């Protein structure tokens, strides 16, 4: 039976969807069977990061309400990694959470891990994830607002929930954000899932729906391997280790900044298709 991880945050834009995809890719590449579920109803984005937006004909609400089979709705991302989209039309106010829970119960035996990309905040949408999850991962960016809101989310977690905090989008060269020490101030190291650097090149890959094709040598993937080991195997890394990753992330950003003046990085992503009289994505999967 799968272990279910809900990915939460107080503030939006801190990287829940990015984390769901990256952690999922990391676990799948270590040989585990993983299902990614987008539970951000009405504001779905995980399909875009995975480059699957043109393939989502059915979604989790269709599956819950019997309009399609699991085979129609669950898409293959790559070996060991599957994806189930959120509804773009329905919102959590109109969805019966028990129906969504049944979907999870039906697929649970097919996977080692199910990762749920939740909506931001403490609204309706996170309750189903919290009833089903074994572990919660609360994502926060290096700002006081994001930290305070993460702490609010933690305060509404069920008493027995195992949870971790993930510091994301860290750029040690950006003086406008919290420093590493400030961000760590209120975080108990037992609760720390990890510190993930802000890596521009991987961010760009995510933006273009090409996260799966991002170079596995990029530091982000090492960071997510450490995060996976912490959450799934109970490993603990010293803070110095995370700092080393942040430093490596900043170095990668420098190289990216230099290269991004070249055509290779700024190639246009859309082509005009005269037959269809519409733009089409170039180089999409």
Ligand X SMILES: Nc1ncnc2c1ncn2[C@@H]1O[C@H](COP(=O)(O)OP(=O)(O)O)[C@@H](O)[C@H]1O
- Using an 8 Å Cβ cutoff, are 223 and 247 in contact? no
CB of 50 to ligand X, least distance (A): 12
List all residues 6 or more positions away from 240 whose beta carbon is below 8 Å from its beta carbon: none
CB of 248 to Mg ion, least distance (A): 26
Between residues 17 and 87, which has the closer beta carbon with respect to ligand X?
A: 17
Between residues 18 and 113, which has the closer beta carbon with respect to ligand X?
A: 18
Binding site for ligand X (CB under 6 A): 9, 12-18, 45, 120, 168-169, 196, 198-199, 202-203, 206-207
> Is 17 near Mg ion (CB under 5 A)?
yes
Between residues 17 and 201, which has the closer beta carbon with respect to Mg ion?
A: 17
**Helical spans, DSSP H, in the chain:** 16-29, 46-49, 60-64, 70-73, 97-107, 125-132, 144-155, 180-184, 200-207, 219-233, 239-259, 263-266
CB of 119 to Mg ion, least distance (A): 8
Between residues 1 and 207, which has the closer beta carbon with respect to ligand X?
A: 207
Q: Which residue is nearest to ligand X (CB)?
A: 203
Residues that bind Mg ion (rule: CB under 5 A) add up to a total of 3
Task: Give the strand pairing for 34-38 and 113-117.
Answer: parallel
* Cα 93 from Cα 141, distance rounded (Å): 28
CB of 24 to ligand X, least distance (A): 13
Bridge partners of 136?
6, 163
CB of 43 to ligand X, least distance (A): 8
Between residues 82 and 119, which has the closer beta carbon with respect to ligand X?
A: 119
Q: Which residue is nearest to Mg ion (CB)?
A: 17
Handedness of CA 215, 221, 222, 223 (dihedral sign): positive
Between residues 45 and 168, which has the closer beta carbon with respect to Mg ion?
A: 45
Locus of tokens 């480059």: 51
Closest CA to 140 of 237, 8, 46, 3: 8
CB of 71 to Mg ion, least distance (A): 26
Contact of residue 13 among ligand X, Mg ion, none (CB under 5-8 Å per partner type): ligand X
- Using an 8 Å Cβ cutoff, are 192 and 218 in contact? no
- Counting Cα atoms < 13 Å in the Cβ hemisphere of 151 gives 11
Letters for 37-76 (x = contact with Mg ion by CB under 5 A, - = none) are: --------x-------------------------------
* Cα 9 from Cα 154, distance rounded (Å): 9
Q: List contacts with Mg ion (CB under 5 A).
A: 16-17, 45
């Amino acid at each position: 039976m799968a272990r279910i991880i809900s990915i939460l945050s107080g503030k939006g834009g801190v990287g829940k969807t990015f984390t769901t995809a990256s952690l999922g890719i990391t676990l799948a590449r270590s040989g585990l069977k993983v299902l990614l579920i987008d539970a951000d109803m009405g504001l779905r984005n995980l399909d875009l990061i995975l480059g699957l937006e043109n393939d989502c004909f059915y979604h989790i609400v269709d599956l819950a309400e019997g309009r399609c089979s699991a085979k129609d709705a669950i898409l293959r991302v790559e070996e060991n990694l599957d994806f189930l989209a959120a509804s773009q039309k329905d919102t959590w106010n109109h969805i019966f959470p028990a129906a969504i829970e049944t979907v999870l119960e039906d697929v649970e035996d097919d996977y080692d891990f199910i990762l749920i990309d939740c909506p931001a905040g403490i609204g309706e949408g996170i309750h189903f994830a919290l009833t089903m999850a074994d572990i919660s991962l609360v994502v926060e960016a290096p700002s006081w607002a994001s930290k305070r809101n993460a702490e609010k989310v933690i305060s509404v977690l069920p008493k027995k929930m195992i949870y971790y905090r993930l510091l994301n989008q860290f750029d040690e060269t950006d003086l406008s954000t919290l420093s590493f020490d400030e961000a760590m101030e209120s975080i108990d190291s037992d609760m720390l899932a990890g510190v993930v650097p802000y890596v521009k090149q991987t961010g760009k890959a995510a933006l273009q729906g090409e996260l799966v094709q991002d170079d596995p040598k990029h530091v982000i993937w090492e960071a997510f391997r450490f995060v996976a080991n912490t959450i799934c195997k109970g490993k603990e890394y010293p803070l110095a280790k995370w700092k080393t990753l942040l430093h490596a992330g900043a170095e990668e950003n420098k190289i990216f900044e230099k290269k991004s003046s070249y055509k290779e990085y700024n190639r246009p992503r859309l082509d005009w298709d005269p037959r269809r009289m519409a733009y089409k994505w170039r180089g999409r999967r």
